[in-house]
Amino acid sequence: MYKVSITKSVYNNEIKINLFDNCEFEIEIDKITSVVAPFKSGKTTLLKILSGIEQADIKIESISNAFFITSEPMSLPWMTLRQSLQFANSKIDDVNIKELSKKKNFGPEKTAREERYKFFIKTAIKYKINKILLAHNMDDNVETILFRFIKGAGTEGLIGIPEIRKVNYGDFGLQLNNLKKSKIFIIRPLLKVSRKDIMQYIKINNLKYRIDKTNEQNIFVRNKIRNFLIPLIEKNFNLSFKSTVSNISKILYYDNDFLEMICNKVMTEIIIKKSKNKVIISLKKYKKLHPAIRLRCIRNILKEIIKKHRIITFTLINNTDNSILNNRRIDLPLKYKCYIKDDKIIISA
């Protein structure tokens, strides 16, 4: 717990104006402190002093690395003051990431990431918030693209992190009824800004910031990409490597968007009948399609009926396509099957 006493004054035409005169309060370590006060009451000045951007009349101990500070946005207009304060003090449920990652058969990094997103989305639903802003930057995107490339991602995966993403039912393992009709969006406004430019801004404005201590430890693949692979490529092959990857990502985004548009049109032409757990497709029309469109159609159809998107891999899609072309039955995950009958492709449970 920190006890703070702040005095701050300014001069206007040689007239001294006291903004704060021994403003005293307590701040708890590792808690989110929300300043809620009337308009033009000095909240911004107070926060600048606490975060080290501006100096008080009497120097106070630096405490900005002990807590998070938020200003007016925490006083959300559709909430009562009590609800705003409850939102400000929201915290993630205690989760044993190590045990959970073993249970889900995921790595600890991926498990922790998913739990963070679950917290953001659940909090958004609870407080009727429809936009979640995250601070991913261009460097994060490049690392993600390289990580996915190494793991064997397709065009959609190599686009990287989306600037705007609608949260859908089933995303991040969340199967909440609220998400079926939700209009919650994840937005990343800094995705085109490099980490170098952000650090330069921090330096110019004398801001204090936090670094995850594990970022420098090469214990995760992503850290090895950040700390070893990218510097190696920049030094020996392409000094502008990050910008190059970002440009490729943009090209792939447009290509993927166009192919999806074509695929959606084609699906309306080849699908004969569709229900919740069954899709019937014209075999004749399917076989005439370009391989790129065929594989996309199969992928999208499988995503519609098999809700667990993570198990829909390229291998599964490719094997399903080969089975159809060779008139063979194939067993799919979750007791689904794909087979040919009367010149029709049937995918059903």
In the chain, what are the domain boundaries?
Answer: 2-75, 97-243, 275-348
Give the model confidence (pLDDT) of 1-25 as tens digits: 666 777 777 776 667 777 677 777 6
At 34 the pLDDT is 58
Which stretch, 18-32, 38-52, 96-110, 293-307, has highest mean pLDDT?
293-307
- Greater model confidence, 345 or 57: 345
Neighbouring-strand partners of residue 340: 345
Q: Name the DSSP class of 306.
A: -
Label residue 99 exposed, middle or buried (CB < 10 Å: 0-12, 13-18, 19+).
exposed
Give the model confidence (pLDDT) of 65-104 as tens digits: 444 444 444 455 666 656 665 665 566 666 677 777 777 7
Neighbouring residues of 3: CB distance < 8 A, sequence distance ≥ 6: 24, 25, 26
At 86 the pLDDT is 63
pTM attached to this predicted model:
0.70
Long-range contacts formed by 330-333: CB under 8 A, 24+ apart = 332/302, 332/306, 333/306, 333/308
Label residue 94 exposed, middle or buried (CB < 10 Å: 0-12, 13-18, 19+).
exposed
Fold assignment, 275-348: 3.30.465
Judge: domain 97-243, CATH 3.40.50.2000: no
Looking from the CA of 242 toward its CB, the CA atoms found within 13 Å total 21
At 338 the pLDDT is 96
What phi and psi values does residue 136 have, to the nearest 5 degrees? -60, 140
Neighbouring-strand partners of residue 344: 282, 341
| Alpha carbon distance 239, 153 (integer Å) | 25
Give the model confidence (pLDDT) of 177-211 as tens digits: 777 777 889 999 999 999 999 999 888 888 777 77
Lowest mean pLDDT among 95-109, 111-125, 329-343: 95-109
At 71 the pLDDT is 43
